[in-house]
Amino acid sequence: MTDLTLVYFKMRALAEAPQMMLRYRDHPYQYAMGWDYFGKPWAEAKSEAAYRQLPMLVTEDGTRITQTGAIMRYLARRLDLMPADPIMAAFADEVFEGAHELFAPLNPVVNFRTGDAFRDACEGCLSILTARFADFERLLARHAGPFFLGETVCFCDFAAFHHIDLSHFIDEAILADFPRLHEFTEAMRALPGIGAYLGERPELMGVGVGPKLVINGVPVPTGVMAD
Protein backbone atom coordinates (compact mmCIF):
# COMPACT_ATOMS: atom_id res chain seq x y z
CA MET A 1 0.00 0.00 0.00
CA THR A 2 1.54 3.28 -1.12
CA ASP A 3 -1.12 5.87 -0.32
CA LEU A 4 -3.49 6.71 2.46
CA THR A 5 -6.84 5.00 1.89
CA LEU A 6 -10.11 6.52 3.04
CA VAL A 7 -12.86 3.92 3.37
CA TYR A 8 -16.50 4.98 3.40
CA PHE A 9 -19.85 4.61 1.61
CA LYS A 10 -21.93 6.04 -1.24
CA MET A 11 -22.98 9.29 0.42
CA ARG A 12 -21.84 12.86 0.80
CA ALA A 13 -21.13 12.93 4.50
CA LEU A 14 -18.24 12.16 6.86
CA ALA A 15 -15.60 11.55 4.19
CA GLU A 16 -15.90 15.04 2.71
CA ALA A 17 -13.84 17.07 5.19
CA PRO A 18 -10.92 14.60 5.24
CA GLN A 19 -10.82 14.53 1.45
CA MET A 20 -10.84 18.32 1.24
CA MET A 21 -7.93 18.50 3.67
CA LEU A 22 -5.97 16.01 1.59
CA ARG A 23 -6.76 17.81 -1.65
CA TYR A 24 -5.83 21.17 -0.12
CA ARG A 25 -2.41 19.80 0.79
CA ASP A 26 -2.16 17.91 -2.51
CA HIS A 27 -1.53 14.70 -0.59
CA PRO A 28 -2.16 11.46 -2.52
CA TYR A 29 -4.87 9.13 -1.26
CA GLN A 30 -7.28 6.47 -2.43
CA TYR A 31 -11.01 6.28 -1.77
CA ALA A 32 -12.56 2.85 -1.29
CA MET A 33 -16.11 1.74 -0.64
CA GLY A 34 -16.42 -0.37 2.49
CA TRP A 35 -17.47 -3.51 0.62
CA ASP A 36 -14.60 -3.16 -1.85
CA TYR A 37 -11.97 -2.63 0.84
CA PHE A 38 -13.11 -5.59 2.94
CA GLY A 39 -14.05 -7.77 -0.03
CA LYS A 40 -17.49 -8.59 1.33
CA PRO A 41 -20.85 -6.89 1.95
CA TRP A 42 -20.68 -4.24 4.64
CA ALA A 43 -23.16 -6.15 6.82
CA GLU A 44 -20.61 -8.98 7.01
CA ALA A 45 -17.54 -6.75 7.24
CA LYS A 46 -18.59 -4.22 9.86
CA SER A 47 -17.33 -6.32 12.77
CA GLU A 48 -13.81 -5.84 11.35
CA ALA A 49 -14.00 -2.07 11.85
CA ALA A 50 -13.63 -0.51 15.27
CA TYR A 51 -17.05 0.57 16.54
CA ARG A 52 -18.57 -1.23 13.51
CA GLN A 53 -18.79 1.95 11.48
CA LEU A 54 -17.03 4.07 8.88
CA PRO A 55 -15.22 6.23 7.83
CA MET A 56 -11.90 4.54 8.34
CA LEU A 57 -8.49 5.86 7.35
CA VAL A 58 -5.82 3.29 6.51
CA THR A 59 -2.25 4.60 6.67
CA GLU A 60 0.54 3.57 4.33
CA ASP A 61 1.68 0.83 6.72
CA GLY A 62 -1.84 -0.60 7.09
CA THR A 63 -2.76 1.02 10.41
CA ARG A 64 -6.51 1.57 10.65
CA ILE A 65 -7.92 4.73 12.23
CA THR A 66 -11.65 5.05 12.85
CA GLN A 67 -13.96 7.70 14.31
CA THR A 68 -14.34 10.95 12.43
CA GLY A 69 -12.68 13.14 15.06
CA ALA A 70 -9.67 10.84 15.32
CA ILE A 71 -9.24 10.84 11.54
CA MET A 72 -9.59 14.61 11.33
CA ARG A 73 -7.07 15.27 14.10
CA TYR A 74 -4.59 12.75 12.74
CA LEU A 75 -4.74 14.39 9.33
CA ALA A 76 -4.61 17.85 10.89
CA ARG A 77 -1.32 17.04 12.60
CA ARG A 78 0.10 15.26 9.59
CA LEU A 79 -0.91 17.98 7.12
CA ASP A 80 -0.01 20.94 9.37
CA LEU A 81 -3.64 21.98 9.80
CA MET A 82 -3.61 21.80 13.62
CA PRO A 83 -2.78 24.99 15.58
CA ALA A 84 0.43 24.70 17.59
CA ASP A 85 -0.88 26.91 20.38
CA PRO A 86 -2.97 24.86 22.87
CA ILE A 87 -5.62 27.57 23.25
CA MET A 88 -6.04 27.95 19.51
CA ALA A 89 -6.18 24.17 19.18
CA ALA A 90 -8.97 24.16 21.77
CA PHE A 91 -10.82 26.84 19.80
CA ALA A 92 -10.46 24.67 16.69
CA ASP A 93 -11.91 21.74 18.61
CA GLU A 94 -14.86 23.90 19.65
CA VAL A 95 -15.69 24.58 16.03
CA PHE A 96 -15.10 21.00 14.92
CA GLU A 97 -17.35 19.58 17.63
CA GLY A 98 -20.03 22.17 16.88
CA ALA A 99 -19.93 21.28 13.21
CA HIS A 100 -19.86 17.52 13.81
CA GLU A 101 -23.02 17.78 15.92
CA LEU A 102 -24.82 18.68 12.68
CA PHE A 103 -24.12 15.26 11.17
CA ALA A 104 -27.14 13.48 12.64
CA PRO A 105 -29.82 16.08 11.83
CA LEU A 106 -28.43 16.97 8.38
CA ASN A 107 -26.50 14.26 6.55
CA PRO A 108 -29.08 11.41 6.67
CA VAL A 109 -31.83 13.81 5.58
CA VAL A 110 -29.96 14.96 2.49
CA ASN A 111 -28.55 11.57 1.55
CA PHE A 112 -31.52 9.29 2.22
CA ARG A 113 -34.88 10.87 3.09
CA THR A 114 -37.51 11.14 0.36
CA GLY A 115 -41.03 12.49 -0.10
CA ASP A 116 -42.97 13.49 2.99
CA ALA A 117 -40.23 12.14 5.26
CA PHE A 118 -37.76 14.50 3.59
CA ARG A 119 -40.06 17.51 3.85
CA ASP A 120 -40.90 16.82 7.49
CA ALA A 121 -37.25 16.30 8.39
CA CYS A 122 -36.26 19.53 6.63
CA GLU A 123 -38.53 21.56 8.89
CA GLY A 124 -36.84 20.31 12.05
CA CYS A 125 -33.40 20.39 10.49
CA LEU A 126 -33.73 24.00 9.37
CA SER A 127 -34.26 25.31 12.90
CA ILE A 128 -31.20 23.40 14.12
CA LEU A 129 -29.08 24.69 11.25
CA THR A 130 -30.04 28.33 11.62
CA ALA A 131 -29.35 28.25 15.36
CA ARG A 132 -25.93 26.68 14.83
CA PHE A 133 -25.12 28.99 11.94
CA ALA A 134 -25.85 31.95 14.20
CA ASP A 135 -23.27 30.49 16.60
CA PHE A 136 -20.79 30.13 13.75
CA GLU A 137 -21.43 33.72 12.67
CA ARG A 138 -20.44 34.93 16.14
CA LEU A 139 -17.39 32.68 16.31
CA LEU A 140 -16.12 33.95 12.98
CA ALA A 141 -16.06 37.46 14.47
CA ARG A 142 -13.78 36.31 17.30
CA HIS A 143 -10.64 36.48 15.13
CA ALA A 144 -9.79 38.79 12.24
CA GLY A 145 -9.76 36.93 8.94
CA PRO A 146 -12.03 34.76 6.80
CA PHE A 147 -11.56 31.53 8.77
CA PHE A 148 -12.62 30.49 12.26
CA LEU A 149 -9.15 31.08 13.70
CA GLY A 150 -8.37 34.12 11.58
CA GLU A 151 -6.19 34.28 8.50
CA THR A 152 -4.99 30.68 8.56
CA VAL A 153 -7.20 27.74 7.65
CA CYS A 154 -7.20 24.73 9.99
CA PHE A 155 -8.95 21.38 10.23
CA CYS A 156 -12.09 22.73 11.85
CA ASP A 157 -12.81 24.95 8.84
CA PHE A 158 -13.14 21.94 6.57
CA ALA A 159 -15.63 20.26 8.91
CA ALA A 160 -17.76 23.39 9.18
CA PHE A 161 -17.61 24.01 5.45
CA HIS A 162 -18.89 20.53 4.62
CA HIS A 163 -22.02 20.95 6.70
CA ILE A 164 -22.64 24.50 5.53
CA ASP A 165 -22.24 23.37 1.93
CA LEU A 166 -24.58 20.40 2.41
CA SER A 167 -27.21 22.59 4.06
CA HIS A 168 -27.96 24.25 0.72
CA PHE A 169 -29.90 21.11 -0.19
CA ILE A 170 -32.26 22.02 2.67
CA ASP A 171 -32.53 25.73 1.80
CA GLU A 172 -30.63 27.34 -1.07
CA ALA A 173 -30.84 30.74 0.67
CA ILE A 174 -29.83 29.49 4.10
CA LEU A 175 -26.88 31.91 4.37
CA ALA A 176 -28.90 35.01 3.49
CA ASP A 177 -28.77 36.26 7.08
CA PHE A 178 -25.19 35.14 7.73
CA PRO A 179 -22.78 37.39 5.80
CA ARG A 180 -19.66 36.17 7.63
CA LEU A 181 -20.54 32.56 6.88
CA HIS A 182 -21.05 33.45 3.24
CA GLU A 183 -17.59 35.06 3.13
CA PHE A 184 -16.19 32.01 4.89
CA THR A 185 -17.60 29.63 2.27
CA GLU A 186 -16.21 31.78 -0.53
CA ALA A 187 -12.78 31.76 1.13
CA MET A 188 -12.93 27.97 1.47
CA ARG A 189 -13.85 27.47 -2.18
CA ALA A 190 -10.92 29.69 -3.17
CA LEU A 191 -8.36 27.52 -1.35
CA PRO A 192 -5.93 25.56 -3.54
CA GLY A 193 -7.41 22.22 -4.54
CA ILE A 194 -10.84 22.82 -3.03
CA GLY A 195 -12.58 24.24 -6.08
CA ALA A 196 -11.24 21.36 -8.15
CA TYR A 197 -12.39 18.81 -5.57
CA LEU A 198 -15.89 20.28 -5.40
CA GLY A 199 -16.16 20.15 -9.17
CA GLU A 200 -14.77 16.64 -9.53
CA ARG A 201 -16.46 14.78 -6.67
CA PRO A 202 -19.51 12.64 -7.48
CA GLU A 203 -22.56 14.80 -8.08
CA LEU A 204 -25.35 14.35 -5.54
CA MET A 205 -28.67 14.41 -7.38
CA GLY A 206 -32.31 13.62 -6.66
CA VAL A 207 -32.21 14.89 -3.08
CA GLY A 208 -35.63 14.51 -1.48
CA VAL A 209 -36.90 12.32 -4.34
CA GLY A 210 -34.40 9.51 -4.87
CA PRO A 211 -30.86 10.48 -3.85
CA LYS A 212 -28.09 9.25 -6.12
CA LEU A 213 -24.38 9.85 -6.56
CA VAL A 214 -23.03 10.05 -10.09
CA ILE A 215 -20.01 7.73 -9.94
CA ASN A 216 -17.98 7.29 -13.12
CA GLY A 217 -20.83 8.89 -15.04
CA VAL A 218 -23.48 6.52 -13.69
CA PRO A 219 -26.14 7.60 -11.13
CA VAL A 220 -26.24 5.05 -8.31
CA PRO A 221 -28.44 5.13 -5.19
CA THR A 222 -26.80 6.38 -2.03
CA GLY A 223 -26.26 3.81 0.67
CA VAL A 224 -24.04 1.26 2.38
CA MET A 225 -24.46 -1.55 -0.16
CA ALA A 226 -22.82 -2.23 -3.52
CA ASP A 227 -24.90 -1.60 -6.63
Q: How confident is the model at residue 192 (pLDDT cuts 50, 70, 90)?
A: very high
Write down the pLDDT at residue 1: 47
* pLDDT 10s digits, 97-124: 999 999 999 999 999 999 999 999 999 9
Write down the pLDDT at residue 227: 79
Write down the pLDDT at residue 165: 98
* Alpha-helical runs (H) found in 28-114: 34-38, 42-45, 68-78, 86-100, 103-112
How far is it, in rounded angstroms, from Cα 15 to Cα 10?
Answer: 10
Domains with residue ranges and CATH for the chain:
4-80+197-221 (3.40.30.10), 86-190 (1.20.1050.10)
CA 36 to chain centre: 21
CA-closest candidate to residue 188, choices 154, 138, 141, 144: 154
Per DSSP, which regions of 29-185 are E strands? 29-33, 56-58, 64-66
Write down the pLDDT at residue 86: 97
- Checking if the pLDDT of 2 tops 70, the result is no
